[in-house]
A and B are shown apart, each in its own frame.
Chain A
Amino acid sequence: MKPCNQHDGRRGFLKKSASIAALYFTPTSLVKTFAMDAIVPLPIAKEKLAITINGQLMNLEIDARTTLLNLLREDLSYTGTKKGCEMGQCGACTIHINGKRTKSCVQLALSNQNNKITTIEGLSDGVNLHPMQAAFLKNDAFQCGYCTSGQIMSAVACVREGNANSRKSIQAYMDTNICRCGAYQNIVDAIEEVAKTGAKI
């Protein structure tokens, strides 16, 4: 994507995204009560997005309404990142955006112009498991495995951010990630184990 139209594209998108977001997230009841007939569906233009995913730069044309999570899962087949609630409440979709842990379900993909994304698929070197992945496996820090990608992405950030100093601190920083199978104790064990090695992860 050329830098010159990036500016326009972004502004144009912001303009549109306000109305799109209003449409997309308006509670059903409101739409029904006030404006069902007044709302006119907008023609959905494809928007350009330059984004780096697991080290690979991608120039994409995407639906402006696509969340980052759906872009990953539906359009690009990075299905390691999970959809658990689409409300930013469960943490199954946690990824790293420019190194910061973020819930990808409450991000429009287009708001990630030129961002660097790391998903669970990009955490390891492709041959060996990342130390956090290995620790999760060793400590049986999951059962069904569905929240696991998000837990691991959060866990890596928890250590990198320096929040893995005590079990209590780990728990507080991992409260963003729900595990319905209840593997919490083993997850904290795994994080503690990695943190104690002092290795840069």
Chain B
Amino acid sequence: MKSNNYNTIFLEDERVDGADKVNGKAKYTAEHNLPNLAYAVFVTSTIAKGTIKSIDTSKALAMPGVLDIIYYGNCPVVPGYISNAAERPKNVFEWRGHKVLYDNIVRFFGQPIALVVADTFENANAAVRFVKTDYQAEKFETNFNKARLIPANLKSTVNYKRGTEKKFKETNFFVEAEYNIPIEVHNAMELFATIAHWEAEDKVTLYDKTQGPKSTQSTIAKTFGLPDKNVRVIAENVGGGFGSALRSWSNVPAACIAAKKLKRPVKLVLTRPQMFTLVGYRPQSWQKIGLGADAAGNFIGISHEAISNTSRYEDFREGIVNVSKFLYACENVDTKYSVLPLDLSTPIWMRGPGEATGCFALESAIDELSYKLKMDPIQLRIKNFTTVNPENKLPFSDINIKDCYAYGMEKIGWKNRPSIPGTIKENGWLIGYGMSVGVFGAGKGSASVRIVLSNDGKLLLECAVSDMGPGTTTSMTMIAAEAMQMPIQKIKFKLGDSDLPPGPSQGGSGTTSTVGSAVDLACKTVQQKLKELAIQYAPPFASTTADALEVKNEMVVLKKDANTKIDISTLFKLANQEKIDLTINSNGKNAEQLKYTSNSFSAHFVKLGVNAKDGTIKVLNVVTTGDAGKIISPKTARSQMLGGVVGGIGMALTEKVDIDQLTGQIINASFGAYHVPLHSQAPPTDVWFVNKPDMNMNEIGAKGIGEIALIGFAAALANAVYNATGKRVRDLPITPEKLGYKTAKA
């Protein structure tokens, strides 16, 4: 897949920061070495709910190298931990979430209750076991399926209603069913880590795994009562996030508290089991979807109910029912969404977030309806296609999902799909085809970018955004290269440091649009400055106007006569300046852009086999397509889509957190027991983009793809399983047992 928009400028399309990632030089959070560094390890609770009667640290404190053990009994006052607003200093906000090391209350199994700090990792780790805790355990509830049945347990219900009563339920073409998705965990490969270093009583530098250096800076500043500028957050390389690093978790204040108390830098790295309990997860959810259509397949109404779990101490909600409101033309829509507090830690957005959850149900229901209508599911979707968002009545800035259907049908071999399920069998495998759609909002926010063009022709851009893997550094460099018409080798894009001009957190598929627009604007501003300098200082341009000039190949050129040109270093000499150094602010959508509603779309196509003997599912082929405006960096964009498919296979087939309901403990908190997809589970995948700039959306015509890569995929797979077997599985992950096969005994 090659983009047509780039030509000679891009002789290389490799990641600009890729060499350091393949030779081991790229430094991630825990890899920064500071003099006199101390190591911290959490002691975690072994009950799910209750109070700690006492903590005996004496034995652990006596162990070699142990410097301190911090817990509620000796934790210094953290201004942001004070609940009473009247007692909090004005510049302090109350810490959102679990106030680690603050009180003796246990809210979930595995909650940090103390922090051992020692001179080495080994000494800290060894002492953890010798911290003795006495609990007063209380009755807890971690059973989602049980608790959701009691209406009084549900809270924060939000209803939405459009159109009239649910008459559609009386039609012959109506499907209604319940869908369940278990807790899934992001499990980025890099363990969460924080290194805190107080350079002065009121000044701290943090190396932190975060998707938002600015957001972490602000959170810690407001928690410790510091001016933002006194908190520096460095996240140069982020080893995956998938949403989990969109907020600061307990590791950040814990490291800050310890480093401040001990007056030396402290490093706190979570363990893999702690990655299951301390840094969020996709909440467990229950959904019920009703979908009715007339005989021609026109949707008459959709009802979509959802419940997802949250913790006892915070409400977490996401866009589970949103997609049902706007993806298809439908007059009558009812949605209802509640959260269910359980004695677990707080969830957070996980790739695709609520839309991935919602799309699994909606896109499964559409598939089910298509069989009832005896209609091709793609034709059914086309029948209900709309160019106007039925929820907010605004036209989509662009929508080319039908192009995705056409490509996917062709490539997956849709014509071979049996219209009656379970009718194709090859070498003992039942063959099935399925597809589904994904959609996610495409936003554009504000961002600032510093741009420095030096007289040696080098261009430096800076923004405090982070890059957790999608290739932001690369795509921003490419946007600058195209805007400036100069080689990428001369451009450096710096990110991952809160000291740089403010940029957004990397999440919600917004980085390319938001920061890309700022980079584009910054480059255009510099070009304008160059043209003005040429007119002012270079005699051949004296009588021209900026409109008559262009900047390319590091020269200012007269459009009409390419021989009238001046290179940048000569121009800087004439103007007697060394560089142009500006900080440019780019705003969110302008009035014209706000006349539209913007989304990225995807369509996923799956061909799979189900072993007729034992129910093993083998994904044979995947075609994944994206409609997300212009594709800035084709290579990294393709990789994101491939990653979405692998993540989607995990969601559909392998991933599920198991909680022991007797203790409230997650019992499969490791890669050995919580199965993320492996090499051999990644199917041959064809990636395709419409690659048409959406100029109604932003100045660069590009929309995000990180979320749509995964959203809908689980439904495509479930629909293919139905096509292969005639069995509709509505509870993820899909396993042979759920297809009616008995598990083979080991």
Binding site for B on A (CB under 8 A): 23-24, 26, 28-29, 31-32, 36, 39, 41, 43-44, 63, 65-66, 70, 73-74, 77-87, 89-90, 92, 119-121, 123-124, 129, 133-134, 136-138, 140, 142-149, 152, 168, 170-172, 174-175, 177-188
For the complex, is B338 an interface residue (Cβ under 8 Å from A)?
no
Residues of A within 8 A of B640 (CB): 143
CA distance A3 to B639 in the complex (A): 51
Residues of A within 8 A of B127 (CB): 41
- Check if B25 sits within 8 Å of A74, measured CB to CB: no
Known A-B contacts A143-B643, A144-B188, A146-B239; the reply to A137 vs B121 at CB < 8 A is: no
The verdict on A85 contacting B272 (CB below 8 Å), with A28-B129, A145-B469 known, is: yes
A84-B14 contact given A89-B671, A144-B468, CB 8 Å threshold: no
State whether A86 touches B271 (Cβ < 8 A): yes
| Contact B672–A70 (Cβ < 8 Å) | no
> Which one, A26, A31, A144, A174, contacts B240 given CB within 8 A?
A144
CB-defined contacts of B69 to chain A, threshold 8 Å = none
Report yes or no: A133 in contact with B189, Cβ–Cβ below 8 A.
no
Residue of B nearest to A80 (CB): B24
Q: Are B191 and A84 in contact (CB under 8 A)?
A: yes
List residues of chain B with CB under 8 Å of any chain A CB. Answer: 14-15, 18-28, 30-31, 33, 46, 59, 62-64, 120-123, 125-127, 129-130, 132, 186-191, 237-242, 269, 271-272, 468-471, 635-636, 638-640, 642-647, 670-672, 676-680, 682, 684-685
Most chain A Cβ neighbours within 10 Å, of B46, B59, B645, B682:
B682
Q: How far is A78 from B33 in the complex, measured between Cα atoms in Å?
A: 11
A-B pairs with beta carbons under 8 Å apart, 8 shown? A28-B46, A84-B189, A89-B670, A133-B23, A144-B240, A145-B237, A146-B190, A182-B643
Which listed residue (B20, B272, B636) contacts A86, Cβ 8 A? Answer: B272
Question: What residue in chain B is nearest A138 (Cβ atoms)?
Answer: B14
Q: Complex formed: what's the CA distance from A194 to B63 in Å?
A: 51
Q: Chain A contacts of B643 at CB under 8 A?
A: 143, 181-183
Q: Is B129's CB under 8 angstroms from A31's CB?
A: yes
Q: Contacts A73-B31, A143-B470 known; A41 to B130 CB distance under 8 Å?
A: yes
Most buried by A among B645, B670, B680: B680
Inter-chain contact A144/B238, CB cutoff 8 Å: yes
Closest chain A residue, CB of each to CB of B242 = A180
Which B residue's beta carbon lies closest to that of A89?
B671
Residues of chain B within 8 A of A175, CB atoms compared? 678-680
- A184 in contact with B682 (CB, 8 Å): yes
Chain B residue contacts of A44, Cβ below 8 A: 64, 122-123, 126
Asked whether, in the complex, the Cβ of B189 is within 8 Å of the Cβ of A143, the reply is no
Q: Which residues of A contact B125 (CB under 8 A)?
A: 24
For A144, the chain B residues whose CB sits under 8 A away are 188-190, 237-241, 468-469
- Given contacts A23-B126, A84-B191, whether A74 and B121 have CB atoms under 8 Å apart is yes
Instruction: Please name all residues of chain B whose beta carbon is closer than 8 Å to the beta carbon of A145 when the two chains form the complex.
Output: 18, 20-22, 26, 237, 239, 469
Nearest opposing residue in chain B for A92, CB measure = B189
